[in-house]
Amino acid sequence: MKPMLLTSANEIPVGNDWIYEVKYDGFRCILVWDEKSPTFVSRNGNDLTHLFPEIIHFYTSIYEQVAPFLPITADGELVHLVNEFKSDFSIVQSRGRMRNENVISKHVENYPCSYIMFDLLRIKGKDLTNLPLSRRKAELRKIFQSTLVSAKEPIQVIDVYDNADKVWNIAQVNNSEGVVAKRKTSDWLSGQRTNQWLKIKNWRYVTVVLTKYNQENGFFHGSVYIAESLVEITVFRHGFTDEERNILVDFIQTKGTKFNQDIWELSPSICVNVACIDFDGKKLREPRFHEFNFDMAPEDVSWNKMQRQLHPIPPSIQITHPDKPVWPAIDIEKDDYIFYLQQIAPYLLPFLNDRLLTAIRFPHGVPGESFYQKNAPDYTPDFITTKQNDDIRYIVCNDLQSLLWLGNQLALEFHVPFQTIKTHYPTEIVFDLDPPSVDAFSLAIKAALKMKAIFDQFNLHSFVKTSGGKGLQLYIPLPIDAFTYEETRIFTEFVCRFLCEQEPEWFTIERLKKNRNNKLYLDYVQHAEGKTIIAPYSPRGNEQGLIATPLYWDEVTDELRPALFPMSTVLERIKVNGDPFKSFRQIGEDQKFEVVLNQLKDLLN
């Protein structure tokens, strides 16, 4: 059985006959679930099961819930989600090339994958392929409703929309691959391409300098500048009209240099815009000629411009003065900052979600005048969520559009409370380790490691991040709405006082700076209702543009320094090492804090 194929279209069809889905960029495959453990079969008939052990493990864990529906066959996509509506194909592709079990296991740790179902072909062994799509979708929903599988698990069901404009806006805002339109009445046709299912690509347009033409295969080669060197990022041959191709070939063969029998090389002179769906780190994906670009000089076609073209600003967001210096000491302009927010959003937004936001704005950049903003200004757009709390109408930053709007306002710091608008109690405990100066950062390292030893003794899983300033911050995630601030204070005060008693020459809980005698301040009072902490991955308003950066515990050594984590480094380290806080919420739900709390109550009584 092979997947039903999509037909390309330039426009989204509209009408009551159609439903719409976001198109994810991953491995299309069929799920066959007959026994306790399922199997993934690629569109070419290859068994992919061994490549995705995290998904198989989860499926096996819910076997008892799903067993009444078996045997099941489903159609879907294997993805690595960077946000709710976008998959990073390069991650899935890397997994597909792996052969070593240990290498796969390590990849699973940093880059977990999921399977998104969008069609059900068999249930309880009964063939559904001749039923209309609307019926198959209904049966698929029944499985998920009955098994109570949450939306964040490695198995998900795709969201379906009736409004074409809405789903297209979602695809643009989240830089998704595109949109799929499906007729509600469509049968499922194995291996066939049909106009009942249409794909509309969310093309990105990248400017390249033409450098080469291969007459044998008809490919043109395009490059961009990195510093003074041209680096090839694409080869393409589709998208031309006959006239465009003939004009270009004639020009290259007339003005270029013949390298051998079939290849002409061209000095930097012609720029073209190439349509693509993404960049895999080396080459543009699905490139095709779009148009000549006579407005751009070849020397201006740079790697940085390519990155911006690959990640366009959503149409709903207007960026004013993109070349405004924000961190002039490190040559960061507003557009660079907006790009950082786009890239970091999947990791930052979960910590802003449903929390009353306190932002610090720097309207003239850093250094410069700054102010705290809690109240949403009168000109806050309708798409931003707000929440009234006492006499303040807070912004609640739940999505990329809201984050980019705040970025355009030059909100550079994002501070959040320890609870959400849907909870009464803290969702995590945070210890703020504040040394007297950045030169005394070694004290924060010392305190963090000693606290980690205490947490481990209590069997509590902890996380660590830089503050983006001169200190470190330690997190213990908690089950939702399980413990009051008064109860968490028992633990935080105990830990801080214990450390001060053990190492009085290094640590203090004295709140007045003048009385701290250059010791590290252990701030347990800050963990309280109404107080805030800098969010993970938020920038700080210092001249170095440092980021409050999540760390792995094995990075907390004597070599650790806050200055190691500016914007560019943080984005690169996520690509290489993944997100140290990725399992934060899941760990919190399993945290056995009640046992610890009862031990301390007994001890203190």
Residue 437 sits in which domain range? 428-603
Amino acid, res. 286: E
- Does residue 517 sit within a domain? yes
The answer to whether 359 touches 396, Cβ cutoff 8 Å, is: no
pLDDT in tens, 352-408: 999 999 999 999 999 999 999 999 999 999 999 999 999 999 999 999 999 999 999
Report the b/e string of 17-40 with b at 16+ CB within 10 A.
ebbbbbbbbbbbbbbbbeeeebbb
Is 18 a member of any domain?
Answer: yes
194, 82: one domain: yes
Mean pLDDT of the chain: 94
Work out how many domains the chain is built from and give that number: 4
If you compute the radius of gyration of the chain from its CA atoms, what whole number of angstroms results?
27
For the stretch 521-556, pLDDT in tens is 998 888 999 999 999 999 999 999 999 999 999 999
- How sure is the predictor about 72, in pLDDT bands with cuts at 50, 70 and 90? very high
Q: Are 91 and 153 part of one and the same domain?
A: yes
Predicted pLDDT of residue 147:
64
Strand residues in 436-581 grouped as ranges (E):
463-466, 472-477, 507-508, 520-523, 533-534, 550-551
- Residue ending a domain, choose from 201, 227, 253: 201
| Residue 494: inside a domain | yes
pLDDT per residue as tens digits for the range 91-106: 999 999 999 999 999 9
pLDDT of residue 36: 87
Q: What is the pLDDT of residues 296-312, one digit of tens each?
A: 999 999 999 999 999 99
What average pLDDT does range 25-35 have in this prediction? 95
| Residues 234 and 350 placed together within one structural domain of the fold | no
CATH code where residue 259 lies:
2.40.50.140
Claim to verify: residue 362 and residue 469 sit in the same structural domain: no
Q: Is the pLDDT of residue 150 over 70?
A: no
Flag whether 253 is in a domain: yes
Residues in the chain: 605
Same domain, 247 and 155: no
- List pLDDT tens digits, range 457-466: 999 999 999 9
Give me the pLDDT at residue 410, please: 98
| 113 shares its domain with 196 | yes
What pLDDT, on the 0 to 100 scale, is given for residue 155? 85
Q: Same structural domain for residues 285 and 346?
A: no
Indicate whether 53 and 153 sit together in one domain.
yes
- Whether residue 423 is contained in a domain is answered as no
Among 416, 440, 463, give the residue marking a domain's end: 416
Residue 148 has pLDDT above 90, yes or no: no
Which of 153, 180, 201 is where one domain is finished?
A: 201
Q: Do 276 and 197 share a structural domain?
A: no
Residues 509 and 489 grouped into a single domain: yes
Q: How confident is the model at residue 17 (pLDDT cuts 50, 70, 90)?
A: very high
pLDDT tens digit string along 438-450?
999 999 999 999 9
Q: Based on the domain organization, do 160 and 45 belong to the same domain?
A: yes
**Based on the domain organization, do 484 and 581 belong to the same domain?**
yes
**142 an active-site residue?**
no
Alpha-carbon distance values, 566 to 11, 187, 259, 546, 561 (Å): 42, 52, 44, 4, 11
Q: In whole angstroms, what is the distance from residue 289 CA to residue 296 CA?
A: 16
> How do residues 74-127 score in pLDDT, each as one tens digit?
999 999 998 889 999 999 999 999 999 999 999 998 899 999 999 999 999 999
Q: Is residue 126 part of a domain?
A: yes
pTM (predicted TM-score) = 0.91
Q: Spot the catalytic one: 2, 23, 283, 387.
A: 23
Q: Which two tokens stand for residue 155?
A: 């198995």
Average pLDDT over residues 580-587: 93
Averaged pLDDT, 165-175 = 94
What three-state secondary structure class fits 63? Answer: helix
Residue 88 lies in a domain: yes
